[in-house]
Amino acid sequence: MSTEIKPGRVTEPHQGAGTRTTHPAPNFWASVWLVSTREIISRLRSKAFLISTGILLLIAVGSVVAGGIMSANPSTTSVAVVGTAGAVVGESAGLTTVSADDVAAAEALVRDGTVEAAVVPDDSRLGVSVIALDSPPSAVMNALSVSPSVELLEPAEQGGFLVYIVALGFGLVFFMSALTFGSTIAQSVVEEKQTRVVEILMSAIPVRALLAGKVVGNSIMALGQIVVIALLVGIGMAVTGQRVLLADLGPAIGWFAVFFAFGFVMIAALFAATASMVSRQEDVGSTTAPVTYLVMIPYFLVIFFNDNPLVMAIMSYVPFSAPVGMPVRIFLGSAEWWEPVLALVILAVTTAGVIVLGSRIYRNSLLRMGGRVTIKQALRG
């Protein structure tokens, strides 16, 4: 059974007199900023946050370095050349040329696996184009001094090791960031409630400002973490010469940051709301478990279904998995230009609704001490 405590008004004694004076309370946005600043400073002083951020950065840098090492492999790549295209290939490091009489002969060499790609003359400004079997030949494109267009004879369907790695990367970053900061919000809410600090806070600032400050502060830190990872990945790819992959991955990373910003606000509001329903740290795990599952589901879906177009399409529109599903589809090129916009609108509307619902649960549960507050009690007030 839970009991509700109504906070009183906090005043301070006036120096040199027996009277007590009250300082004017800050307005709503000033209160939000105060709480946000407190959350940010607290995260920066947290060893758990610094360690988790370090792990994510190491994973990001390690994956880029590994890709750079693989792309810089000294083993040569065989390419077929036709006529004047041989002059463009020239002495390109890492390429071994095989002469072909015409374009048809070069295509035959590509199809039977004798060469990885063919460089043939065309009427473009560069004077050459590349022919490959099912995917753009990154090794060939990086070795050439020009960037010709690529024609695929048998375009591959969704799948492949590269797609798996990219999908795993988006899923892992979203999973670790959302779970780390979400759990931090939940623990902070219960700690303030258990120690009765929340009663003092609520006597000075509105409940909505307290919730908004926690969500905004942790969202800034989480998004900042994502931006740093994206910058490291982009700089690392540029330095290691992975220009083709960076060009393909760049738009997906940009959309991931946008979707993550909205998705994390939604997750953060849910973590704060569910955590406010209990008064002990021991009960946090059970009450926030449904929210944790919502964070875990997209991660496992991209691991097992990254090559399934239907599952990925559904994921890209479901609000809880859109921050992972849509960027993967953008990387694959299977999403139309309007699909990310529509998915983002759905996510934004859902986030607004979750904030309203979470704010009600948070406000009605925060001062109820003792037993766990039920959903019915939290919504009824």
Euclidean distance between CA atoms 356 and 215, whole angstroms: 13
The ranges assigned to domains in the chain are 25-66+159-380, 78-152
Query: Which residues in the chain land under pLDDT 70?
Result: 1-25, 67-75, 90-94, 145-149, 152, 154-160, 241, 243-244, 381
| The pLDDT of residue 71 | 57
- pLDDT of 146: 64
Alpha helices by DSSP H, 144-196: 161-194
What does the DSSP assignment read for 52-101? HHHHHHHHHHHHHHHHHHHHT--S-EEEEEETTHHHHHTT-TTEEEEEES
pLDDT for 159 equals 44
pTM: 0.72
Q: If you count DSSP H runs as helices and E runs as strands, how many of each does the chain have, helices first?
A: 15, 9
pLDDT for res 23 = 57
pLDDT of residue 51: 85
Answer yes or no: are the C-beta atoms of 277 and 289 closer than 8 Å: no
Instruction: Give per-residue pLDDT as tens, 187-238.
Output: 989 888 888 888 888 888 888 899 999 999 999 999 998 888 888 888 877 7
Residue 81, CB-side half-sphere exposure with 13 Å CA sphere: 20
- Torsion angles phi and psi, residue 115, rounded to 5: -125, 160
The pLDDT value recorded for residue 258 is: 94
Determine the straight-line distance between the first and last CA of the chain, rounded to whole angstroms.
15
DSSP annotation of 281 reads: G
The per-residue pLDDT for 318 is: 95
DSSP state of 240: T
What confidence tens digit (pLDDT) does each residue in 108-160 have? Answer: 888 888 888 888 888 777 778 888 887 777 777 777 766 666 776 766 554 46
Separation between Cα atoms, residue 72 and residue 88, nearest integer Å? 20
Q: Name every residue whose Cβ is closer than 8 Å to that of residue 369 and which is 6 or more positions away in sequence.
A: 2, 3, 4, 5, 193, 279
